[in-house]
Copies of this chain bind each other. A is one copy, B any other.
Amino acid sequence: MFDREAMPRQVNIVEVGPRDGLQNEVAVPTAAKVELINALSKTGLRYIESASFVSPKWVPQMADSSEIMQQIDRQNGITYSALTPNLKGLENALAVNTDEVAVFGAASEQFSQRNINCSIDESLERFRPVIEQARAANIRVRGYVSCVLGCPYQGEVPLEDVTRVARQLIEMGCYEVSLGDTIGVGTPLQAARMVKAVLEVVPAHQLALHFHNTYGQALANILACLELGVNTIDSAVAGLGGCPYAKGASGNVATEDVVYMLNGMGIDTGVDLDALIRAGADICHHLGHGPRSQVALAELAKEG
């Protein structure tokens, strides 16, 4: 039987719905995003990825990131972070008092080439000044690694590439690396094997799991990795985002479903599940689809 004692007693949820989620949905009004972030701020979540300072040419859904960071009601104890792929983005993020920033690398060479038009190594070099300047401004930097369990272009991704990119992001100054199963193809043994490999170069307290539920595997994969000591999980309220590589399929694992599983195992997240379900249902009114959270669907169905 799996080892409850090896699991963390407490898990940090990194809520990525307002950014990673909404950037893959139809554009919603700025006011609705602000309302979502404000609602999430009252659920007990302590980390909300709120905006992305990228070119609006590439991601028009995030063009209002400065307004969002200025309009939200910030709560004490909550980190409001943003994605900053370059110095221009960092500058914009700092101008609106973003608490933390993040850079986004890939473990897949082909994904890197197709997505950001450069090699993995080149992308890391581009992040170097971003990380340096953020740290000079006393801002912590989170690093993402995408495609850790598979790539939509090259298929398999060698473990060495995952560990190399994770290690380099830490060495460059990221305080944490989030391991993304971007297309949700991983299964539990594979997920645990990948995390074990990364643990050889990055300690557990500097790792986060960012698993997508495209193939329904996210919770099982998280379960398999909790025993390895990782205690930070990225998720999106209502499973916001869907899968950009398979229209109609799921993307980010739903925060509601993660919290429900952890609650049931006595692992504390500090999150009020009912308030979370409500926040997710409210933003979904703008999206033309229901929550992609089984927990939310079940609880909302009970209400009739």
Contact residues in B for A294 (Cβ distance below 8 Å): 184, 213-217, 249-250
Contact B249 A217 (CB under 8 A): no
Whole-angstrom distance between the alpha carbons of A176 and B103 in the complex?
53
Contact residues in B for A265 (Cβ distance below 8 Å): 187-190
Contact residues in B for A213 (Cβ distance below 8 Å): 294
Copies of this chain: 2
- Listed residue (A216, A222, A263, A266) with the most chain B CB atoms within 10 angstroms of its CB: A216
Contact A261 B298 (CB under 8 A): no
Contact residues in B for A293 (Cβ distance below 8 Å): 216
Q: Can you name the residue of chain B whose Cβ is closest to the Cβ of A304?
A: B247
Q: How far is the CB of A13 from chain B (nearest CB, A)?
A: 15
Whole-angstrom distance between the alpha carbons of A32 and B4 in the complex?
46
Number of interface residues of A (CB under 8 A): 49
Whole-angstrom distance between the alpha carbons of A247 and B243 in the complex?
25
Contact residues in B for A227 (Cβ distance below 8 Å): 1-2
A72 at the interface (CB under 8 A from B): no
A49 at the interface (CB under 8 A from B): no
Contact A188 B261 (CB under 8 A): yes
Which residues A1-51 have CB closer than 8 A to chain B?
A: 1-4
Whole-angstrom distance between the alpha carbons of A215 and B3 in the complex?
23
Q: List the 9 closest A-B pairs by CB distance, nearest first.
A: A187-B264, A216-B294, A246-B301, A216-B257, A249-B298, A219-B220, A2-B2, A189-B265, A220-B220
Spell out A's residues near B (CB within 8 Å): 1-4, 184, 186-190, 192, 196, 213-217, 219-220, 222-224, 227-228, 243, 245-250, 254, 257, 260-261, 263-266, 290, 293-295, 297-298, 300-302, 304
